Structure 1
Amino acid sequence: MFERFSTDARAVVIDAQKEARALKSPRIGPEHLVLGLLSVPTEPVQGILADSGIVLAAARRTVAERGIALSDADADALGSIGIDLDAVRRSLERTFGKGVLDPEPPKGQRGWFGRKSGHIPFTKDAKKALELSLREALARKDNHIGPEHVLLGVLRAADGTAREILEVSVTVDELRRRMHAALDRAA
């Protein structure tokens, strides 16, 4: 499927990987694909996201705040029995040093001189979003997958942090409508 990706769509996926690495995530999720879409300046995607109040800095902050270890429901469940995850992190970092809870790459994913290798795997939801981008391209009878198809795929699968990033001023459904309208005008 990746051979059908345009140069810009490939850049989105590569930037998603860079964003995941910068945020110390062990996997690329749909939220990282959104960050990749915000990082690669392509139209009409950039215009639609900007007009909807979705900006890279705020999206990056949201992803960083949500972290990777536990969902909000998990944190709430632990909080209900008196466990404050932020206090636990602060205590561990005071004792063992900053970043002690940052994920290490799985064994075998270190490159030369102990550096992390370039590959970060996709989550099941990110894979689904990319598969849906192919379906979006096929439904539009396009012979390639571009950033616009990646956005449409992410919007179809948007949940959790990705949905939170995308629903700044309009719903995911409205973003889909705007993207389709822009593509229809361009056709």
Structure 2
Amino acid sequence: MSIEVIAIALGAGLLGGTVGGAAIGAVQAWMARGRGTRVQYFGRLPGPPGRPEAVRVSSGRLTGMEGFDRFDEHAKRVLSLAQDEAIRHNHNYIGTEHLLAALLRDGDTIAARALVSLGVELTKVRTALEFIVGRGEHSTSPSEITLSPRSKKTIELAIDEGRRMGQPHVGAEHILLGLVREGEGIASGVIESLGVTLPMVRTRVLELLAEAGTPAPASYEPPPPRHGQGWSPFNRFGDRAKRVLALAQDEAIRMGHSYIGPEHLLLGLARLADPRQADPDMKHIFDMLGITLEQMRTELGTVIPPTGRESLPTEITLSPETKEIIQLVNESAADRPILPEDLLLAIVRDEQSFAAQILARLGATPERVRAAMGR
């Protein structure tokens, strides 16, 4: 499995590929997601926790929310397709990521043409969705599906965009404008990770509207970005730390595992210490510990044996423990770039994890690890 393939799931910042930007950048909203899904994520939406408000989609119609009567046929179709995307992934909510996929599926719209012209394609969005949220364990019926709080906000902003433009109907293009204006959902993270800024999307939509003979009025001004837009738990990951994530996923795929756990991060750190990776700092640490990559692979194989087949990149998710590590290094590294050394310290901090136990079996106690790092 080539490292270029791994980048499909781990981001443009790792190896410079825009296709790879889909998944890692999509985590922009991970720490601000609403509850109500059947899959795990970390963080919470600002405000009290709880299920999304009971706004439902039925045959492309919204129930429990005002303003739907202004939706044109394309906008209604987007809602139906978003519900279909949720059902496809066994999700019991419609998130911004489902709306984005739906906008691309209805290709005969200004919204779809704007996205595709900027390089945001359905396959990339679905790759990100699979990686970040994964699939639910049980099938979902349409009657169970509600709008997530961020999708509800997106729809409200779409209605406002139509009003600000003085247009009688809300179209797919207004849903896209609402999506980028909301700016903190997974969809926005996917878009930005592909090298496309949210203002670029807005500008392209306005250009296509003008070309279609329905320009925005002269009085129209883009609303200011929402607070916190563009934040991601990976924003402060340096290139070396991002490389560890890519190598960790490669290890998970090699072992046939469907997740990246702390043990895979540990193997990624050991691979970074390989002379071929040209990372002298990590090589020095592992030389001081006297531990090799093959030793750790052998130890891990006795605890979590390989399945005998390689996983697909789209099957891989982050384990809850890995998400906690990512959150921990963001908190502990203050305002400086996050380094591989930060990941290693976070791993040994949880002495009950498989990764820490593997190190301990090989004689690398937390104290020895800190000493090797000069901490």
TM-score for the superposition, normalised by structure 2: 0.37
Distance 1:147 1:160, change over 3 A: closer
Q: CA deviation at 1:46?
A: 2.0
What SS does the aligned partner of 1:102 have? coil
Q: Is the 8 A contact 1:30 1:158 kept in 2?
A: no
Name the aligned partner's letter for residue 107 of structure 2. P
Map Cα deviations across residues 44-82 of structure 1 (whole Å, 9 max, x no partner).
2222111111111110110111116xxxxxxxxxxxxxx
Match of 1:140 in 2: 165
Match of 1:77 in 2: none
| Larger-Rg structure | 2
Match of 2:115 in 1: 49
Matched, 1:31 2:97: yes
Name the aligned partner's letter for residue 20 of structure 1. A
Match of 1:122 in 2: 147
Over the matched positions of the two proteins, sequence identity in percent amounts to 29
Map Cα deviations across residues 115-139 of structure 1 (whole Å, 9 max, x no partner).
x344510000000000000000000
Equivalenced residue count is 146
What is the rounded CA distance, in whole Å, between the counterparts of 1:40 and 1:64 in structure 2? 20
Any unmatched runs of 5+ in structure 1? 69-98, 106-115
List 4+ stretches of structure 1 deviating above 6 A.
none
What SS does the aligned partner of 1:19 have? helix
Q: CA deviation at 1:28?
A: 0.3
Q: Pick 1 or 2: higher relative contact order, CA cutoff 8 A, min separation 6.
A: 1
What is the rounded CA distance, in whole Å, between the counterparts of 1:50 and 1:18 in structure 2? 21
What SS does the aligned partner of 2:116 have? helix
Q: Is the 8 A contact 1:30 1:125 kept in 2?
A: yes
Map Cα deviations across residues 16-40 of structure 1 (whole Å, 9 max, x no partner).
0000110111210111110110011
What SS does the aligned partner of 1:142 have? coil
Alignment of 1:6-17 (within 5 A): 6-17=72-83
Among 125, 140, 155, the alignment partner of 2:180 is 155
Match of 1:180 in 2: 206
Q: Is the 8 A contact 1:42 1:147 kept in 2?
A: no
Q: Is the 8 A contact 1:152 1:176 kept in 2?
A: yes
Q: Is the 8 A contact 1:6 1:146 kept in 2?
A: yes
Q: Is the 8 A contact 1:137 1:149 kept in 2?
A: yes
Match of 1:110 in 2: none
TM-score for the superposition, normalised by structure 1: 0.72
Give 1 or 2: higher helix fraction. 1
Match of 1:171 in 2: 197
